[in-house]
Chain A
Amino acid sequence: MTPIRLLFPASLLLLGYASLSGQGTRPKSPEVNFGRDVRPILSEHCFKCHGPDAAKAAAGLRLDSFSGATAHLADGSAIVPHNPRASLLIDRVSDPDPLMRMPPQGAGVSSLSPAQIDVLRNWISQGAKYEKHWAFVAPKMPSIPTVRETQWPKNPIDRFVLSKLEAAGLKPEPEADRDTLALRAAQTLTGLPPTLEELNAFRHDNQPGAYERYVDRLMSKPSYGENQARYWLDAVRYGDTHGLQLDNERAVYPYRDWVIRSFNSDLPFNKFAQWQIAGDLLPNPSTEQLIATGYVRMNLTSNEGGAIPEEFLARNTFDRVDTTSTVFLGLTVGCAKCHDHKYDPIKQKDYYGLYAYFDSTQDEPLDGNIALPPPFIRATTPEVEARLTLMDRRLRSDLEAIDVDKATKWFEANRQPPLVSHDWQKSEVSSFATFDEAFDNPGPAEPGQVGKPAWKPLAFQLGKDFPNLIGKDNSFVYVKGTFTLPKERSETLQVGSDDAIKLWLNGKLVHSHKITRGLADGFDTVKVEFRAGDNELIAKVINAGEPDGFRLAAGQPGDAEVDKALAALRRSPKDQTARRELQRAFLEYGPETDQAGAYRKLEMDRTTLEQSAPMTLIAREMPKPRPTFILKRGLYDQKGPAVVRHIPSALGSLPASLPNDRLGLATWLIDPSNPLVSRVFVNRVWQQNFGTGIVKTVEDFGSQGEWPLNQPLLDYLSVSFIQNGWSVKKLNRMIVTSAAFRQSSRISPQKLAKDPENRLISRGPRFRLDAEVIRDKALKGGGLLVERIGGHGFKGYQPDGLWEGSSDPASSTHFYVRDRGSDIYRRSLYLFWKRTSPPPVMVTFDAALRDTCIVRRSTTNTPLQALAVLNEPSFLESCRTMAARVLTTSGSDAKRLQTAFELTLGRPPHPPEATLLLRAVTRYRGTYQKDEVAAQRLLNVGDSPQTKSAPIADQAAWMIVCSSLMNTDEFLTQH
């Protein structure tokens, strides 16, 4: 009872009327499900103005919650539960006057259809229950549906699928034939056709479980991990360049290789996710865990002249937040950059709460246009680490074999007394316009120059870094010191400098090295002859840019350590560290014995092996996080209130037991109770295998996304994925061995009408293959594919001028120099990915550009695709080498045609196809026999050698036939 109600007797009247006539007299209305039926209508037509965006709630009305929708406003309540007639919502959306009707004209959303209004009416009649959006409620293991056709299902997936089919009055298709199945499973799991051996083994395996055995074999191949990695690399926007402006090369491919390894070793997805988001914050992170954090660094970066670091910090962080939420949560939080999300319960504050987890990494906002903007590590693989451990063990046992007493005696007999110096001084600093001038121009301290520098004392010590001598760019300083010796002596100096260096000893130039480097970047070894008495050493240190410094040590490398160890052993002969040090020094710097030679070689091999591992970008957290603010309208210079790290409030809050940093965030994501992460991922794996997700909008599980067509199936997969230890292999195996996946992909007219997009899985998967698979298949058929895993991206055939024409001449990726040799035949996954100009064939076939997170590629069908497969050199070259393989088949053209079919389509030809193409090969052969010059020109494509063992007209004719097969829809389609 409220005073407001009294003011509106009409409402009361209506209420009474409705309650009199509403129930009982009418047939029972269909049961309405809020999430499936109602929320999409409200979301599409109403939430823009009456949704979660509190600031925009027009007329104070919010329709996204029960309390908001039933609140008493000036005219009454939008919704009166059980009473559609009293509900103003129904009045307003069905008002015949277009001026009064909601949503208003010009709101950019359309009016409701009568059917939609009926849904709302029924929903209100049934109590207007609001339920939490389905995707925000953790999945429970659903009960397995009962089905009429009990013979068909092979695993639980099939019962979920079949129950939908039976409800729609459809029957599944029969199982596809073995050749088709073999190709389909191999393409979906490994992105390649099966080898002939694999195919034949499967063809001739008549025991039960043949297909499952075949699938297991496919999943144990390294190409499995490569193919699974593709999808992940799209999602995280992996690229080999920074992606903006100069678009210079970026060194991060060890991350890509780690992703491949992880899928192959079936690293549980929860760890896979956690390491990427926060591997650096785990206790004592392993190399693998650090490599994984390349994920955090995958955002586009720039160092454009004039760029404002703060602006790029915001851009970089937006990129990380948007990607993380799409990849793991299936939520598009980006809208909340500028305002509360209009459709999903993500507040602007929540956006910046997530943002705060990602804006405090150590990397600079601007990338310096270098390949390795710190932090980075050396990315040793587990194999290399194992070999290094083995080598370390051998080195240690060599050391332990050394007699310490013998070593002590040898060193005591062979060591020179330590060199002593005194009277160190430095000159004033001289500055120039350029580094070159600073290096070349002599100052007064140099021999032959007029005048004397004003020397000032310097607390310089041998063997210690002396930084900040100069403090200016393009400048030099002189440093001098005196060495007093009882007798003449040969000596080795180790000279470190930042940057360049010149050395004079007793007025004679003994060393000059023009270089830009840091003190930590190693040193020059300089052999000098000291005379008896005083020796004057002058060093000129030339600095190119901040910082600067100088370091000088005398004696053999290791002298200092030996001196220290000898002294320690004199004090306590049992000092283990000193004994070990002396043993090591004895092998490294002691007498030249076979034993020492072997040790030094092994040590060098170890270093070489370690240094063969490439560097890769990683994430490291700043010691103290940056303060984070809401950025109004998403503008970096429009700071609003401060925000602390938190997860979107609609999804709960981070448990107090977790650290409030990326590690806490990652750990929360992979908690089995998280409603989204497992569903979002299994849905994408389903999409990989069937072409479309169970939720078609794989990128959006929010209220604007699609309601899952088969939520029990999604939940079953999601819960069992977690129960199976987050094993991606088990998930793939379950899908690929289901009867649903094994159906023929034939489309009957009935199914085309009832299930045009195959959303009910009324047939097997059928969709155009991805760019990478099409190219790799072609190379494989031509026997060209080089299946080497990992490493630096390769540059294959590419029309001239694509990079040069689109990039700044100052870019490190301005000139395209393609690779030679076997590299160019590697799998497409390893194509060097310049983000502003990706490989053209890939782009033509809808590959993700890798400049934003893409979890669903488009699959277009264009004339440019036809031109690529018809004319691009790798396709033509594959046809040429395939023709050579075909021609090694002895016997008739018919036999050869069979080989051509096996190599392209993985099946023998049907009789009409054989007739057609045998006629074609005869015709082409005739043409090219008459014009062998043309035949040879056709065969000139590509780097690989041409066979000499077949007539060129035959080769040309078969090359065209192979190309015809490669251009069929069947070749280009998963079917």
Chain B
Amino acid sequence: MSSSPNTDMDPITEAELLMTRRQLFGKATLGVGTAALSRLLTLGGMGGVMQMASAMEGPGHHGIAGFPNFAPKAKRVIYLFMSGGPSQLDLWDHKPKLNDLFNTDLPDRIRNGQRITTMTSGQTRFPIAPSRFKFSKHDNQEDGIMVSELLPHTAGVVNDLCVVKSMWTEAINHDPATTFIQTGSPLPGRPSMGAWVSYGLGSMNEDLPTYVVLHSKVSSGKPNQPVYPRLWGTGFLPSQYQGVSLRSSGDPVLYLKDPDGMDRKTRRAMLDDIVALNHKELEAFGDPEIAARIEQYELAYRLQASVPDLMDLSKESKETFELYGEDAHEAGTFAANCLLARRMVQRGVRFVQIFHRGWDLHANVGGDLPSQAKDVDQACAALIKDLKRTGLLDETLVIWGGEFGRTVYCQGPLTHENYGRDHHPRAFTVWMAGGGVKPGIVYGQTDDFGYNIVDKDGNAINPSADKFTPGAVHVHDLQATILNQLGIDHTKLTYRYQGRDFRLTDVYGHVVKDLLQ
């Protein structure tokens, strides 16, 4: 049980060194400015700065000392976020017994007094709405898994998926639930997961952002529920760690394009003038931030070339487009975004998040869910296959899921063909692939109503965030597990703000070892 620390360096000396550096630079200036400053110190004065300014080094931030904490299984993350809360009961969590219970009342022992939203709390009945969609069995590494007819392509890659049917969250409305799963707190103000990763691990490339966010078109035309920059923001972390939103129309990165009427030669000449002016200021004032500014202008210049190159899908093969489907030709579709995500991880982007909206189906599940599923199904499968054939899947963790699930009882009018479902935080399905998670498995199960998480014997588990509950995966557990795959101990990635060491998982979260290889 005891293990002596396996380090070459005396831990006390290391801590002291770290502390000295922190005292010197202060945490708020960690980052480019600090990087420049520390190099300035090692290079010994102004002469060093002048040399250094011409020897550029990428986006500058290479993580904080001691991270990763251990050898990572995944170097990159692609998080496919289904905003609004996809219906697990119509996609993944097959409940055949419900067919006999159509329009009967949800038993009180199942709801067990749990709170429900004020959208359905006024209903006089909670009638059961069985899924109208057919499920069929697909082989995986275990006993196979039942998948809805709405996901034919994804069903074809279940052998690579680790499907978690026992996710749960504490928030019951979109804004708090989405903020919770993205930032670890239902209240705004905390850094997003991608920002934490970007802060802890830094950049892996020379000319692209570390954390990129993509937004997808919704073919139903009903992108209900907002997704806004707070969800990929930095909260109290310095803003350089925020997700950069790559847009499918206009400038992909805000203000990337030079103004009309200015060619690249003129831009270069102008930047050279700026560099020369800044050098003179540096000589006069000796402020290392000036050297850092020079670097950032050079990086901006490189971004102007590297981002359009990234976005240009014209050199992708016919086979690739066949894999992702016709949609991938149209910028801004989920399919095109998945293809871009693969190109990004190839280029060393560490954290990619793709948002797809429109899953908040309080009504018309029968009408709208097929189109939602069609938007994402083929591309999800394509992304897995593509990452696999390019050898990237092993070190890329792919996650698919929303902020909560949907109720088994119907909201609004109920027929066999159509029904609505309210928010359900107590059990929902996400899947992961690659990045050291077990392929082809199913983790966790729910009762016959898809309402409560149960153990293998069917007994309801009442999970708590305070302690790890085997069989159930809390949002903080998912976050801890994702960080773990990146080589991060989620209890160690902290940031001192307002006198407290904050972390993504607050004071909760456990790595779910059963999901890992």
Contact = CB atoms under 8 A, between A and B. Distances in A.
B259 A245 contact: no
Interface stretch (A283-291, A498-506, A913-921): A913-921
B331 interface: no
Interface stretch (B95-103, B244-252, B428-436, B472-480): B244-252
Interface string B59-75: 10000000000000000
A927 B259 CA distance: 16
Interface residues of B, number: 102
A653 interface: no
A917 B273 contact: yes
Nearest to B31: A860
Interface in B236-260: 237-240, 244, 247, 249-251, 253-260
A839 to B, nearest CB: 11
A602 interface: no
A319 B255 CA distance: 35
Interface string A720-736: 00000000000000000
A88 interface: no
Given A308-B118, A756-B25, A913-B280, A247 B226 contact: yes
Interface string B5-36: 10000011001100000001110110111000
A337 B255 CA distance: 42
Contacts of A860: 31-33, 238-240
Given A858-B238, A968-B281, A934 B263 contact: yes
Interface residues of A, number: 115
Nearest to B240: A860
Interface stretch (A29-37, A536-544, A936-944): A936-944
A840 to B, nearest CB: 5
B300 interface: yes
B270 A637 contact: no
Contact of B261 (A343, A704, A938): A938
Interface string A850-890: 01100010111111111110111000100000000000000
A862 B240 contact: yes
A709 to B, nearest CB: 11
B325 interface: no
Chain A binding surface SS class: loop
A205 interface: no
Given A304-B175, A306-B423, A868 B187 contact: no
Nearest to B223: A809
Given A766-B285, A766-B287, A245 B175 contact: yes
B15 A938 contact: no
Given A245-B175, A969-B290, A300 B278 contact: no
Interface stretch (B133-141, B291-299, B333-341, B378-386): B291-299
Contacts of B215: 805-806
B285 A916 contact: no
A334 B224 CA distance: 32
Given A700-B498, A863-B299, A938-B262, A246 B226 contact: yes
Interface in B146-204: 172-175, 187-189
B230 A964 contact: no
B303 interface: yes
A871 B499 contact: no
Contacts of A923: 269
A164 B251 CA distance: 51
A873 to B, nearest CB: 8
B515 interface: no
A245 B84 CA distance: 12
B286 interface: yes
A808 B300 contact: no
B50 interface: no
Contact of B274 (A114, A846, A967): A967
15 contacts: A243-B188, A318-B187, A749-B46, A749-B286, A756-B25, A808-B225, A860-B239, A861-B32, A861-B33, A865-B296, A868-B255, A913-B280, A920-B269, A924-B269, A968-B278
Given A852-B188, A970-B281, 11 more contacts: A302-B173, A306-B117, A306-B119, A808-B226, A862-B32, A866-B300, A867-B256, A927-B266, A935-B261, A940-B260, A964-B270
By Cβ-Cβ distance, the 3 closest A-B pairs, closest first, are: A306-B117, A704-B499, A938-B261
Interface of A: 98-99, 108, 110-111, 113-115, 243-247, 300, 302, 304-309, 315, 318-319, 326, 332, 334-335, 343-344, 637, 696-697, 699-700, 702-705, 745-749, 752-753, 756-757, 766, 768, 799-801, 805-809, 811, 836-838, 840, 843-844, 846, 849, 851-852, 856, 858-868, 870-872, 876, 910, 912-913, 916-917, 920, 923-924, 927, 933-941, 956, 960, 963-965, 967-970, 972-973, 975
